[in-house]
Amino acid sequence: MVRTALFNWAFARHTGGTFVFRIEDTDSARDSEESYNALLDSLRWLGLDWDEGPEVGGEYGPYRQSDRLPVYAEVAKRLRAGGFAYDCYCSATELEARRELAKSQGRTPGYDGKCRELTDEQISAYEDEGREPVLRFRMPDRDYEWDDLVRGSITFAAEHVPDYVLVRGNGEPLYTLVNPVDDALMRITHVLRGEDLLSSTPRQIALYEALAAIGVSDGTTPRFGHLPYVMGEGNRKLSKRDPESSLLMYRETGYLPEALLNYLALLGWSMGDDQEFFSKEQMAEVFTLERVNQNPARFDLVKCTAINGDWIRSLAPAELVERITPFLVTAGLIPQQPTAEQLALLAASAPLIQERMENLSQSVGMLSFLLVPPERFVVDAADLGVLGVEAASTLTAARAVLVGLPTWRTAAIHEALTGALVDGLGLKPKLAFTPLRVAITGRRISPPLFESMEILGKSGCLARLDAAIGGG
């Protein structure tokens, strides 16, 4: 959904068009107020602003389909009256049996038109049985051809486009009715959507013609462009159930919306000149449908994460602090309104982790040793072994040289520890500084050690060394 929205947004911005955002929520069993609000929140987070739609308004509102049910009911009534649609009383069991029969006889499965020309007596008999009819569109017996904006000339033979349902038996309108009606009434000129909807296009073209005949539209049919599939693991189509499809997962993990849009743009489209790092605004400047690839694109989480890391490194330090703050607040490391001292600590430490981060949530693990109160500091269980008995002499020597250090600055700390541990004890840097790193930060992998020690402060570092020596 997000990639489709992005391509439509970029196309509208590049061509000077109007980006219309509609909410498709006519499925009462699936749609809810919660999902509606989540969708709006997601697009706001991504920065995909719309020109017409919810919260913005527009000439052709309302833009939430559940608010337009009387419109669809009236159009359905006019389609039936005009002979473009008819009531179908076939049960699901009967339809399935006839589909299986068609397949066994080598015929194209699909609705066979059984209810197209029912007599009054047949209708009465069905209604006496208590059957609730669906409203089915009467497809003209002809082939349909159109010039797809992405795939070029496409033709569907009449036998592959049978009559289809517009309204359920309970009166609930389906996507097959509401979207073309909204397209017509809202004067939609271009639609970019997924390849999975390609087979619905001939049906919609026929419905647009019927809508014009009953005076609902001015006869304009939108131009369609069908975007390639996005494939997941095992070269299968990525589905909504796949973890990679969860926008909330990326948001909670700490992917930047700019990075996510950047990567999604690469799934089926090219900026040109092998450029893979760009903003959505830069994309819109050059976006053309000629650069959309017809072949399926493969979602690569590793590459998506790498691009996210590039975006994190492109942030100004102050902005990085702003971006990681909500994650630190959620982890309980800082309050909702950080103190001036905490903000200063973040400003000093953020540049240390910026080169090492792949997502914003990693800031919690990387900075927790600087932010937790002394009583809450613990060494990661996986790294406790580094602080065994053999590390005690190294940590003792480090403490001895640090306690008398007159200047607590990165360069001075580095020089003193190198002299005491590498030159004095003859240790290789890795053996000298790994126990020290674990004792100070609680982890083998951390921001740069000496810079971190400067930020933590002399008393904090000595206290942690004392604890590690005592524990060893």
Kindly list the catalytic residues.
Answer: 240
Work out the burial of residue 264: count CB atoms within 10 Å of its CB; fewer than 13 is exposed, 13-18 middle, 19 or more buried: buried
E strand or H helix that includes residue 180: helix 175-185
Distance, CA of 398 to CA of 405 (rounded, Å) = 11
Residue with tokens 């996005």: 230
Distance CA 210, CA 137 (A): 10
Helix (H) or strand (E) holding 101: helix 92-104
Q: What ranges make up the beta strands (E) of 300-403? A: none
Distance (Å, whole) CA 348 – CA 39: 36
CA Rg value for the chain: 32
- Residue 411 burial by Cβ neighbours in a 10 Å radius (0-12, 13-18, 19+): exposed
Q: Which two tokens mark 211?
A: 């809508």
Q: State which amino acid sits at residue 24.
A: E
- Residues in CB range of 274: below 8 A, 6 or more apart: none
Q: Which of 180, 178, 153 is nearest to 73 (CA)?
A: 178
Write down the residue that tokens 């909410």 correspond to: 23
Contacts of 14 (CB under 8 A, 6+ apart): 284, 285, 286, 287, 288
Distance of alpha carbon 98 from alpha carbon 102, whole angstroms: 6
| Residue 86 to residue 133: CA distance in whole angstroms | 9
Residue 374: DSSP 8-state: G
Q: Which residues contact 110 (CB under 8 A, 6 or more apart)?
A: 99, 102, 159, 160, 162
Helix (H) or strand (E) holding 4: helix 2-15
